[in-house]
Amino acid sequence: MTLPTTAERRLPEWEFGGYPYGLMPLTLPAPGLRWLCGDMSGVLRQQSLLDADADAPLDPEPDSTDQLLWFRWIIGNQASSALWQLLDDELGLVLGEELPTACRNAAALLDGYSALLIYAGVPTREAYARLIRPAMALQHRSFSGRWAVDYVPVMAKLQALRAAYRSRPAPAEVARTIEASRTNHRVHVAVAAKLVPSDDSLLRANDGLALGKATDENVALYDAFYSTARAVTSRERVVEQLLQRVRAIKRDLRVNGLYPDGSPSQDERPAHLWETKVENVEVRVEELLHKAATAAVAALRSHPASS
Ligand code: HEM
């Protein structure tokens, strides 16, 4: 009998955060600071583990439903931030050159973001109102997604893209990207209404939209809440961190399913907003996340030079 090497023995272990449903800090560069270091080893390792995980023994169940929901909220938001940085690059290429590969990558990343919204939005209204919303409100009474600094350039590019093709037909690949962005908007609206039926975000409930701009101060508060540090970080490392999170999410979903026993919030989905396009994301969460991870690696390879 051959003894497995240390690396082989470690394969099935839950790597992210050191223990199942543990969390890890995320390190991102300031948005727009793209730097390719040329070292793909971390990315390739995570990519092969993403496939190997499918054969790993099932992980233990979480200690409590709250632990699971908190894990999902933080990791889902962290993965979104990493994903937005990559999406921003691809949208730049879609806008500038209508590059078909960039269109496909951007659409897959947008679909991955839609899947993350559904995944993080699994708490029941009761759990969201008791566990998650008050924690954000303690960070700032108007805590808002508008303070997600990595989303700011993405939102601008999505608006520019829609405007560019308002009066002329978009090529098929570009149209697919725009469609993924529309679906993403619908998913955000549906998840928000599922968790907060009054539609009152903390921002709207407290300071109106007065604090809706991403200033240095509220960006720092937002980053701190999601354990996100800002440092010079290569694009490879951004992709590696996204893949680590997609792996942990997929391992969670294998054990707990999308709607875990202790959180039957599928009964709270607003029927009028949970239309076919939203449902199509919901039933494909794992697949869409896997595709987004693959697109993130592909996007890295299609940017040979640093800028
Ligand atoms: C699942 C995690 C979520 C993520 C990643 C997320 C992300 C974002 C982002 C990036 C924005 C700024 C861009 C924009 O205005 O479209 C935003 C805004 C907004 N989000 Fe979310 N969101 C999430 C959950 C929610 C929930 C649960 C609600 C329920 C109230 C909500 C309600 C809103 C509203 C109303 C805005 C507009 C600005 C504001 O009033 O704060 N979102 N979100």
Domain ranges across the chain: 63-301
Report which ligand 1 atom has the smallest distance to the Cα of 151.
10
* Rounded distance between C-alpha atoms, residue 166 and residue 121, angstroms: 32
Residue-level pLDDT at 207: 86
Residue nearest atom 1 of ligand 1, based on CA coordinates: 117
At 272, list the tokens: 């009028």
| Ligand 1 touching residue 31 (CB < 6 A) | no
| Ligand 1 touching residue 192 (CB < 6 A) | yes
Burial of 262 (0-12, 13-18, 19+ CB in 10 A): middle
Residue-level pLDDT at 304: 54
* Rounded distance between C-alpha atoms, residue 300 and residue 37, angstroms: 11
Q: For residue 27, what are the β-bridge partners?
A: 229
Residue-level pLDDT at 170: 94
Residue-level pLDDT at 211: 86
Q: For residue 26, what are the β-bridge partners?
A: 228
Residue 12: closest CA among 249, 242, 251, 237: 251
Q: How far is the CA of 145 from the centre of ligand 1 (A)?
A: 5
Q: For residue 230, what are the β-bridge partners?
A: 28
Quote the pTM value: 0.94
Q: Which of the listed residues 158, 201, 206, 225 should we mutate to test ligand 1's pocket, taking the one with most ligand atoms within 8 A of CB?
A: 201
Residue-level pLDDT at 2: 47
Q: How far is the CA of 144 from the centre of ligand 1 (A)?
A: 7
Mean pLDDT by 10 residues, the chain (307 residues): 45 80 97 93 96 90 97 98 98 93 98 98 98 98 97 98 94 97 98 93 87 93 98 97 98 97 94 97 98 97 60
Cα-trace Rg, the chain: 19
Q: Which of the listed residues 109, 146, 158, 182 should we mutate to test ligand 1's pocket, taking the one with most ligand atoms within 8 A of CB?
A: 146
